[in-house]
Chain A
Amino acid sequence: MSTAHSDHDHPAHLAHHFETSAQQMESGKLGMWVFLATEILMFGGLFCAYAVYRANNPDVFLFAHRALDTTWGAINTAVLLASSFTMAWGVRAAQLGQKKLLIGLLIATLFGGAGFMLIKTVEYKAKWDHALFVGPSNAYYHDNGTLADPGEAAHSSEYIEKHGDTDGGHGGHGDDHGAGHGDAHAAGHGDSHAGDHGGDHGAQADAPAPAASKIAAPAAPPTGLHADLLTHKRPVLGAGESLSTGIGAIQASHKGSHYPAFTELDPLNTNRTHIFFQIYFAMTGLHGLHVLIGLGLISWICYRAGGPMTRALLVPGLFVSVGIYFVFVWWLVSANSGWFPTTALVAAVLCLIAGALWGAKNVALTKPNPDADSEFSPGYYTPVDCVGLYWHLVDLIWIFLFPLLYLIH
């Protein structure tokens, strides 16, 4: 590593404390990997919370995960994998000095990440509409053993059970269900959930009453029940038995791959139903935050890799993109009342105008300059490589999140 430096001319990108470009690049990569290790450990905490709650409340996870949309989840996986591919290709382009291609691939990666966030918005919106959101905005929210709003929980349960049956990824399971759920099956098609929520609400209005009374039951059990709860419902988690036996046995009691309805949940676990959603939002929220950070980093790399025109258009372009995103959000929520749609629209208009004006100004003032060029060359592309590593890690975490959250069965 430390040979022949006296006659080595110092390239501009080589920091003063490194002897060779290779040493600098290897250091950068090592540092990036160490940082990625911290990211893995950080997500590890959430995976731990997930594992603990899933192991101890398998029926809750079987029930509640059906609120998630497997089709959108799978599409999002594909989108993120595609953006990962363009990023890996981009690193290759940087290594080979293909400057135009690098910029194109980075922009493609940006579109991939933005697409991921758009789909995530659609999914979050659906949860919000059905009172399955984070914190107390969740219909199953419990405090001191009491459901906040049993009626709302019944609505949400009906939505979850119906939605789970119609969702593309679980089509095969519809047959296993008892007679009570069969009628919901008829309306099934995997892709068009965002549109037809109004219909769901109408359906719920018909028969919430019996379900609601059942749900209220565990909230205020008769005093003598506690000993039963401890011994009766959880026979398999006794001392010495492994957890997998326990889960298997619980599953067996649910007759194969049958998904429990909310009323069939272990009464001990009903107050943890909302925890599934809290963990879902914690995991996907933190992941989404990392996607946003990744988008910022890729934009930064794109700026450094670009010539004068790319640099002139990149930041205004980001403003326009955010504006388009807010237009989309406005379109999603435009049926809702309250301050949110208006705010989204105002934000959208502001971003679009600012982006357009700024872009026009930059383009008008930018002169073609043959000297201004990409900072990266086959001899120096460490930032591209490191941002690529970060982006792949974001992808890698999603690779695990997708089956863990969407594909429980």
Chain B
Amino acid sequence: MSHDHAHDEHAPHAVPLGFLALIFGVLMVLTFVTVGVTKFDFGYSMNLVVAMAIALVKALLVGLYFMHLRWDAPINGFILVASLLFVTLFISFALLDTGAYAPTQAAAALRGSTP
């Protein structure tokens, strides 16, 4: 709320149009990159890492500039980051666990019985 525009009472931070267009352009380029990069093979895990890294950059651009987090109250960004952390927590515990018993379970299901 600190930016001081002359023409209105609350002086919202209006992002310059050229800048928005630039972000949009970068997002489109990154979309092409993420498709194009599938022509190269870095190994199964690295492919996933590369794809997720590009997606993360895109998400950051959308969050920071389209969603105004760059200029917003920090609490809003904190909420976003915290929710992502909790999703990570959930997924990592579930992965850690299911990796250990999944083969047993799959074999049992294949037999047509429960483990």
Nearest chain B CB to A298's CB is how many angstroms away? Answer: 15
Label chain A's interface by main secondary structure. Answer: helix
For residue A43, give the distance in angstroms from its CB to the closest CB of chain B. Answer: 8
Instruction: Report whether B47 and A400 are in contact in the complex, using a CB–CB cutoff of 8 Å.
Output: no
For residue A29, CB closer than 8 A to chain B, the reply is: yes
B73 and A74 within 8 A (CB): no
Let me know if B39 and A171 touch, CB within 8 A: yes
Kindly name the residue among A30, A48, A89, A403 whose own CB sees the greatest number of chain B CB atoms within 10 A.
Answer: A403
C-alpha gap A88/B14 in the complex (Å): 10
Give the CA-CA distance A287 to B105 in the complex, in Å. 30
Interface residues on chain A, number (Cβ under 8 Å): 87
The verdict on A239 contacting chain B, using a C-beta distance below 8 Å, is yes
- Interface residues on chain B, number (Cβ under 8 Å): 68
* Given A48-B90, A81-B28, A247-B45: A30 and B76 interface contact (C-beta under 8 Å): yes
Given known A-B contacts A29-B72, A145-B112, A268 and B107 have beta carbons under 8 A apart: yes
Tell whether, in the assembled complex, residue B38 and residue A169 are in contact, meaning their CB atoms are under 8 Å apart: yes
**Looking at the complex, which one of B68, B72, B110 makes contact with A268 (CB distance below 8 Å)?**
B110
* Distance of B30 from chain A, by nearest CB (Å): 9
Please name 14 pairs of A and B residues whose Cβ atoms are closer than 8 Å in the assembled complex, sorted by A: A22-B10, A30-B76, A44-B86, A48-B91, A56-B102, A70-B38, A78-B28, A84-B66, A88-B15, A89-B20, A92-B15, A95-B13, A169-B35, A268-B103
Q: Residues of A with Cβ closer than 8 Å to B?
A: 21-22, 25-26, 29-30, 33-34, 36-38, 40-41, 44-45, 47-48, 51-52, 55-56, 58, 70, 74, 77-78, 81-82, 84-85, 87-89, 91-92, 95-97, 144-146, 169-173, 218, 221, 226, 229-230, 234, 237, 239, 243-244, 246-248, 250-251, 256-257, 267-269, 271-272, 377-379, 381, 385, 388-389, 392-393, 395-396, 399-400, 402-404, 407-409
